[in-house]
Copies of this chain bind each other. A is one copy, B any other.
Amino acid sequence: MSRITCPDLSSRVVTADKAAVHIGHGDRVAMSGFTGSGYPKSVPGAIAEQARREHDEGRDFGIELWTGASTAPELDGVLAEAGAVSKRLPFQSDPAMRKSINAGDTEYVDTHLSHSAQQAWFGFYGNLDVAVVEVAAILPNGLLVPGSSVGNSKTWLDLADKVILEVNSWHPRSYEGFHDVYYGTRRPPERLPIQLLEPMQRIGDPYLRVDPSKVVAVVETNAPDRNLPFKAADEDSKAIASHLVDFLRHEITAHRLPPELLPLQSGVGNVANAVMGNLADSEFEGLTAYTEVIQDGMLDLIDNGKLASVSATAFSLSAERAADFNENIESYKGRILLRTQEMSNHPEAIRRLGVIAINGMVEADIYGNVNSTHVMGSSIINGIGGSGDFARNAYLNFFVSNSVAKDGAISSIVPFASHIDHTEHDTQILVTEQGLADLRGLSPVARARKIIANCAHPDYRDRLGDYLDRAIAENPNGRHTPHLLGEALSWHGNFQANGSM
């Protein structure tokens, strides 16, 4: 049976090439997609082709590209390779796009994922010309069933002058009922409280709405989401997970956490999966999650009964796990809810629910300032994503990393972070495979002693301690956050000059 049962919209089905002609040079184009899920698979490639043709003929062609978060080679990749993106927001992780940004060819605006929809709506980014949104089905009344992510699709459909829909039959038709699209947002001064009290509470509609008069094209596809290979947790990830879960036990004993914890948020990656793996083998029961992304590890945790339910905005599964989920989707109904990213990452909801936030970091300085985004201060990796949304508003926040990178040439604990995404005021608990530093209620120097002792790699511990001691000695009137500014960034300089810090 066709996925497009709305007569009006089914009459607008065209090829991706035909759809792409609605997008011109200089347009602001917003697409669906979050962590490689639910992004349009077909129109971006056609835009890239168009860009190449224009460039070949000596004409400019570049668009501003907005999404939910990261997408995939068929979207960020092809457009970046075609030199077709002048500006990008709010998050990316594609190698070609990253290269274009770091070459200075694409401007990148790295915003909190909870902020992107509202700031677009406020008019801070200019008028939105076209939205390209992937869905699983179009209902007879024109309502849209999202697929494996919701992201910013609601806002893009609301704001865009023109809309292109991609209907991807790879997504199970049974996705209907898995989504909660909140239509109660207002702009100040008309905003209302978000009446969300529990992670799984429905506060919106199961469908996306679109004004049919704006739909200029509908494209049919059948293509899988990004293939993200699952990496089994290594020893370091397991050690990090073990320190972290032991600390949660400690907090329960101290009556600062209930036995079933509080809703979990976990960033994407190896350590996140390791934490889920650790919890799967633990005594914990009745866990919940209020998070951005559902990875393999979280599905496993649902399967084994530890995790009662998950609210998120997207999946980010391995190909095997996605195939399995799509086959057994019915069994997850009522235990998974996908929201708009402005709700999954909403400060109000995160703070109220008391989320336990677990996010990766690139490096932390001895005082607890965290770099989540940059290599050696200048080159962007991906972006801040939701780490700030969650960490800033969480009940507890953890930042996790191996203590060293590049076979020990880089220390993840440095005198001064080369970029700061989360400040000393916001970071609570740092974890490496070496151990855990609980920074709550500590002054900067006390934090530094603890981070160096518990988290730094032994190869760097003495030098960090030496830096701190000399900074204290040489700043008789600056012992709150003592630094040697001439030396503070020299570890990064050492790496750049000699290949090792």
Chain A residues packing against B (C-beta within 8 Å): 87, 89, 99, 101-104, 107-112, 119, 122-126, 187-189, 191-198, 254-256, 258, 262-263, 347-348, 351-354, 369, 374-380, 384, 388, 392-393, 395, 416, 418-426, 440-443, 445-446, 471-472, 475-483, 485-486, 488-490, 492-493, 496
Contact = CB atoms under 8 A, between A and B. Distances in A.
A193 B194 contact: yes
A377 B486 CA distance: 11
Contacts of A87: 443
Contact of A489 (B347, B475, B486): B486
Contacts of A101: 479-480
A184 to B, nearest CB: 12
A480 B378 contact: yes
A123 B262 contact: no
A262 B378 contact: no
A472 B443 CA distance: 37
A352 to B, nearest CB: 4
Nearest to A261: B189
A102 B425 contact: no
A451 to B, nearest CB: 15
A213 B195 CA distance: 37
B425 A388 contact: yes
9 contacts: A102-B478, A125-B440, A189-B262, A191-B354, A378-B479, A379-B480, A416-B489, A485-B493, A486-B489
B471 A256 contact: no
A102 B485 contact: no
Q: Is the interface of A mostly helix, strand, loop or mixed?
A: loop
A197 B192 contact: yes
Given A103-B477, A420-B420, A126 B191 contact: no
Contacts of A375: 478
A377 B480 contact: no
Contact of A352 (B191, B352, B374): B191
Nearest to A263: B189
A254 B482 CA distance: 45
Given A351-B348, A442-B109, A489-B486, A472 B104 contact: yes
Contacts of A485: 376-378, 418, 489, 492-493, 496
A456 B416 CA distance: 25
Contacts of A486: 489-490, 493
Contact of A102 (B351, B352, B471, B480): B480
Contact of A421 (B348, B351, B425): B425
Contacts of A378: 471, 475, 478-483, 485
Given A378-B475, A421-B425, A445 B107 contact: yes
